[in-house]
A and B are shown apart, each in its own frame.
Chain A
């Protein structure tokens, strides 16, 4: 079964550093998403991406965050200057269209120290 692949599985970074989280969505999917889950809390929507642009973003997705689909296969989330409160599990997801449940990746655990 096709999978959404996320790398790395775990990233440790120092506060103030830039991080890029990488995702390879399922190849025929058109919608792409980032969600995050702070330890012990809800899964929260960050951003959706369709037709090479952001469709929606949440209040969490401020100027420190950006997304890119640089080469038609990868989908990246960049955090420019990480803060301690950015520590979370970040999930990438993709969907074939808007009517179906997403396929989530296994996540990247980001730890900011």
Chain B
């Protein structure tokens, strides 16, 4: 079975500061990993994905994440936070075998950006 743990349900950073959102996964086989962002009253937008290629993945809006197998982690970072980054962020894991895959989501991290 797969699972995702996001440490910190709420994270606050100052504008211009580093953003670090933590995600640890559990999977019996190499996983595919995703970060999604959800703005208020909107759907889930894919930020970036890891699908067994490069371990450092760059996404939209200046975000990136690094897959670390030894730590079973896929933390999301951004060097400098903008006010527009305030949203909820979800880490998700997908099993790579089988036909139609299922995403297992973490509980989400609400990011607040302070002026």
- B44-63: CB near A (< 8 Å → 1, else 0) gives 11100101000000000000
- A17-61: CB near B (< 8 Å → 1, else 0) gives 000000000000001010100000111110011110001101000
B104: A residues at CB distance < 8 A: 45
Q: Would B108 and A101 count as touching, CB distance under 8 A?
A: no
A102: B residues at CB distance < 8 A: 46, 103
A98 within 8 A of B: yes
A75: B residues at CB distance < 8 A: none
| Residue total for B at the interface (Cβ-Cβ under 8 A) | 25
Complex CA–CA separation, A107 to B45 (angstroms): 12
Say yes or no: A103-B100 contact (C-beta < 8 A), given A42-B105, A42-B108.
no
Q: Would A43 and B90 count as touching, CB distance under 8 A?
A: yes
Complex CA–CA separation, A51 to B102 (angstroms): 16
Complex CA–CA separation, A105 to B36 (angstroms): 13
Q: How large is the interface on A (under 10, 10 to 19, 20 to 34, 35 or more residues)?
A: 20 to 34
- A63-95: CB near B (< 8 Å → 1, else 0) gives 000000000000000000000000000010101
Say yes or no: A100-B51 contact (C-beta < 8 A), given A106-B42, A106-B43.
yes
Q: Please tell me which one of the listed residues B49, B51, B100, B106 contacts residue A31 in the complex, with CB atoms under 8 A apart.
A: B100
Give A contacts to B, CB under 8 Å.
31, 33, 35, 41-45, 48-51, 55-56, 58, 91, 93, 95, 98-107
Give B contacts to A, CB under 8 Å.
32, 34, 36, 42-46, 49, 51, 90, 92, 94, 96, 98-108
Known: A42-B108, A91-B43. 7 other contacts (CB 8 A): A33-B100, A42-B106, A44-B105, A45-B104, A51-B99, A98-B100, A98-B101
